[in-house]
Amino acid sequence: MRIIFKDTFIYRLENQLEFIARNNPANSRNFKNELFNLIKAIPSNPRKHRKSIWYDDVDIRDLIFKGYTVVFRINNNTIEIFGFVKFQETPL
């Protein structure tokens, strides 16, 4: 399976990484590395993550990481990463 990162995910992640880096750049790098290691593991078993609480679709899943939610869609041979949420009402 191929992983595709949508602009909405990249934008929100970059903003959060910048916020973390203000206090501790090393924590920001570690956060990003740990998150991407989890994302890289999604294709091996994408359905192990819970069904999204924001969408009524079994192919949209939530990966939980340190209080953040990465929202992704299982679509044939691709995983589309499109949401990155913490305390927001919607993942976009």
What is the Cα–Cα distance from 42 to 56, expressed in whole angstroms?
20
Q: Are 35 and 70 spatial neighbours (Cβ–Cβ below 8 Å)?
A: yes
**Secondary-structure class of domain 2-85 per CATH:** alpha beta
Q: Which region among 6-10, 49-53, 87-91 has the lowest average model confidence (pLDDT)?
A: 87-91
What is the Cα–Cα distance from 38 to 69, expressed in whole angstroms?
12
> By percentage, how much of the chain surpasses pLDDT 90?
88
Question: What phi, psi does 28 have (nearest 5°)?
Answer: -65, -45
pLDDT for 89 beyond 70: no
Q: Indicate the domain borders of the chain.
A: 2-85
pLDDT for 72 beyond 90: yes
pLDDT for 90 beyond 90: no
**Side chain identity, residue 34:** E
Q: Are 84 and 68 spatial neighbours (Cβ–Cβ below 8 Å)?
A: yes
When pLDDT is cut at 50, 70 and 90, the band that residue 59 belongs to is very high
